[in-house]
Amino acid sequence: MDTGPSHEQLIQSLTDEYRELFARSRQGVYVYLDDVHKVCNEKFAALLGYPSPKEWAAVKANFPDAFVADDSQGVLVTAYRKAIEDCIGSNIRVNWKKKSGGTVEASVILVPIVHHGHLLALHFVTERG
């Protein structure tokens, strides 16, 4: 019985499919499937102080605890659930945790997408200056 692509295959396929979007966007961009399977562009990794998207994706901790300030975790989780459960997009404010400590304020546009039959959320992140 074919259960479809593994999470690793799904993220790799999505990375290949969205390569140009990730490279050309002037915003930080990431897609989250689960705490282990996620991908981002250079701009998002740099915003949070990671030298590369690969290093950011290698963090295998609980996503909100690792990357989102306590005061923004509920907002991001709620928007993500709306995207996945109800296919609703959101425009929210999120305070992100930087790798070196401290936070960075950003606006996040979160939209549901379907890739190989799997519902995911595509996030566009812009630092608020």
Beta-carbon contacts of residue 115 (< 8 Å; ≥ 6 apart): 10, 13, 14, 17
Res 2: pLDDT: 47
The whole-angstrom separation of Cα 29 and Cα 42 is: 8
User: What are the tens digits of pLDDT across the range 43-93?
Assistant: 999 999 999 999 999 999 999 999 999 999 999 999 999 999 999 999 999
End-to-end CA, the chain: 51
Res 4: pLDDT: 64
Please report which residue ranges of the chain form alpha helices under DSSP H. 7-17, 19-24, 42-47, 53-57, 63-67, 70-86
CA-angle at 52, arms to 100 and 64, nearest 5°: 55
- Which domains are present in the chain? 7-127 (3.30.450.20)
Residues in the chain: 129
Res 129: pLDDT: 76
Res 5: pLDDT: 72
User: What are the tens digits of pLDDT across the range 2-34?
Assistant: 456 788 898 999 999 999 999 999 999 999 989
Res 39: pLDDT: 96
> What is the model's pTM?
0.92
The whole-angstrom separation of Cα 109 and Cα 1 is: 37
Mean pLDDT within 106-113: 97
Amino acid at the residue 110 = L
